[in-house]
Amino acid sequence: MKPSEYALDDPIAAVATALAPAALGIVRTSGNNSIERASSAFSRPDALKTAPGNTLVHGWIVDSGGNRIDEVVAAVYRAPKSFTGEDSVEFIGHGGPAAVLAVFRTLLRAGFRQAERGEFTFRAFANGKTDLSRAEAIQEIVDARTDAARAKAAGRLAGNLSERIHEISASIVQVLAAIEVQIEYPEDEETTKGAFDAAALREAAEQLSALHATWAAEKLYQDGARLVLAGRTNAGKSSMFNTLLKEERAIVSEIHGTTRDWLEARADFSGIPVSIFDTAGLRKTDDRIEAEGVERSKGLAADADAVLYLVDAREGLNEEDRRFIRECLEAGGPPLVLVWNKCDHLDAKPAPDAEPGARAVVKTSAKKATGIDSLVQTVVSLLTGKLPGGEAGRRASLGTERQRHAVEHTLEYVNHALEAAQNGFPMDAVAQDLEDALLALGEITGEVSGADILDAVFSGFCVGK
């Protein structure tokens, strides 16, 4: 069933926690008469039915024969002071899958319907308890891979994006209102004089542009980056892989060609989720399996967001290293950092100040974990160097592609209105552009929302949300 087709009159129930052994498990309900309906499966029905909102009631879930299913605490919420804006009861019991499912099935037999994906949040939206940008932020928090991504989503959940959208919308409305007066009373010179406030509209366009630019950073913090460790055999790639992960994931050996295929693991680089790839050492070999690993390494490097090219400081750069770096540059590949590894050895050669094709040179010892902080910061700087900053990004940022498209369309309409006014088009044409701009902007918060938009937003939620 599509979210736009949900039957909002039905009382619903869903398991809200993972079905895995845990200390606690939660089954939530919502809907008209949900408290009364839930009381029929509760050992203390009168206590539940008369409980004030925002209170807890201890008891047991029982079946129709009075048999005890699980000991629970019922959290009671009364409309409109609940997440969904409806009467709601959340049963907190023991976290074993069998216990949680038994409670859930008992509630279904009591007359609740199993909730669909995102139906609780959809009801919160339908009842005016949240807007679309805040609803999307709930899922963003669930999906966040780093604390930085979580913090950005929490800001949107708290309403910073909604507030920013309303501010921009209000400025456009003010310009539009003045134009409407001019259209309505063209004979009134005092009213029509200076009716079109181009400066205010240009300011709105600048704010929209700044907000649109925040998506690049947000996408990086949500989706993360691919970081490939490349280099000749025994340059220390596997040791670096383990050091960056702070765990022993890759086999480390002095034998050349130990790593024949790539390994992948995730790490947090200053809030950016990074997928790190340890790859086969680059060398000519008659071993077909190792040769395939070398080709895969090159393919991974070409598709990476950044490449760390490790060199054994005792050997220094050779022509094979320089050829790889040069080919990476000529192919328009990702930014490359030359990592002068094993610099702790007494016979280590001095690192070059720079190398053609490399964005930076960093001295490290993967084995002793020296220079790692500098290396991580260099990678972060490369990944974020081209991202826009500014006050707009600190105040609020876009969280989804849907929001980015809406801002993009709004900006197009605003710029078209400015051009139309500058080129002497009738004010009613300018007004139409601004009305379209407001409609596009309203899609972000859901003030304007078609069924297709609602379906796209809420179908990505899990059942208990």
464 domain residue, yes or no: no
Which residue has tokens 């989503």?
Answer: 153
Please check whether residues 328 and 209 belong to one and the same domain: no
Please check whether residues 259 and 204 belong to one and the same domain: no
Whole-structure pTM value = 0.80
Which residue has tokens 């070398």?
Answer: 294
> Measured between alpha carbons, how far is 311 from 355 in angstroms, rounded to an integer?
12
Q: What is the per-residue pLDDT for 193? A: 47
Per DSSP, what are the bridge partners of residue 30? 12, 88
Domain boundary among 360, 384, 408: 384
Please check whether residues 306 and 335 belong to one and the same domain: yes
Please check whether residues 260 and 347 belong to one and the same domain: yes
pLDDT range class, residue 7, cuts 50, 70, 90: confident
- Per-residue burial over 313-326, b if 16 or more Cβ lie within 10 Å, else e, is beeebeeebeebbe
Looking at the structure of the chain, the number of domains it has is 3
Query: Which residues, 6+ apart, have CB-to-CB distance to 463 below 8 Å?
Result: 14, 15, 114, 115, 116, 117, 119
For residue 365, give both structure tokens: 């010892």
Domain boundary among 84, 105, 131: 131
Q: Are 120 and 81 in contact (CB under 8 A)?
A: no
DSSP codes of every residue in 240-289 = HHHHHHTS--S---SSTT---S-EEEEEEETTEEEEEEE-------S-HH
13 domain residue, yes or no: yes
Please check whether residues 321 and 371 belong to one and the same domain: yes
138 domain residue, yes or no: no
Please check whether residues 378 and 404 belong to one and the same domain: no
Percent share of the chain, pLDDT over 70 = 88
Percent share of the chain, pLDDT over 90 = 65
Q: What is the per-residue pLDDT for 298? A: 82
pLDDT range class, residue 256, cuts 50, 70, 90: low
- How do beta strands 225-231 and 306-312 pair? parallel
Residue 192 pLDDT > 70: no
98 domain residue, yes or no: yes
Please check whether residues 36 and 117 belong to one and the same domain: yes
Residue 464 pLDDT > 90: no
Domain boundary among 109, 131, 153: 131
Please check whether residues 446 and 302 belong to one and the same domain: no
Q: What is the CA radius of gyration of the chain?
A: 30
60 domain residue, yes or no: yes
Residue numbers of the domain that contains 187: 143-218+392-458
136 domain residue, yes or no: no
Please check whether residues 247 and 198 belong to one and the same domain: no
351 domain residue, yes or no: yes
Residue 259 pLDDT > 60: no
Q: What is the per-residue pLDDT for 261? A: 64
CATH code for the domain in which residue 333 is found: 3.40.50.300
Lowest mean pLDDT among 209-218, 349-358, 405-414: 349-358
Residue 266 pLDDT > 50: yes
Q: Write out pLDDT tens, residues 432-457.
A: 999 999 999 999 998 876 676 677 67
Please check whether residues 96 and 237 belong to one and the same domain: no
Please check whether residues 244 and 360 belong to one and the same domain: yes
Residue 1 pLDDT > 70: no
Please check whether residues 350 and 400 belong to one and the same domain: no
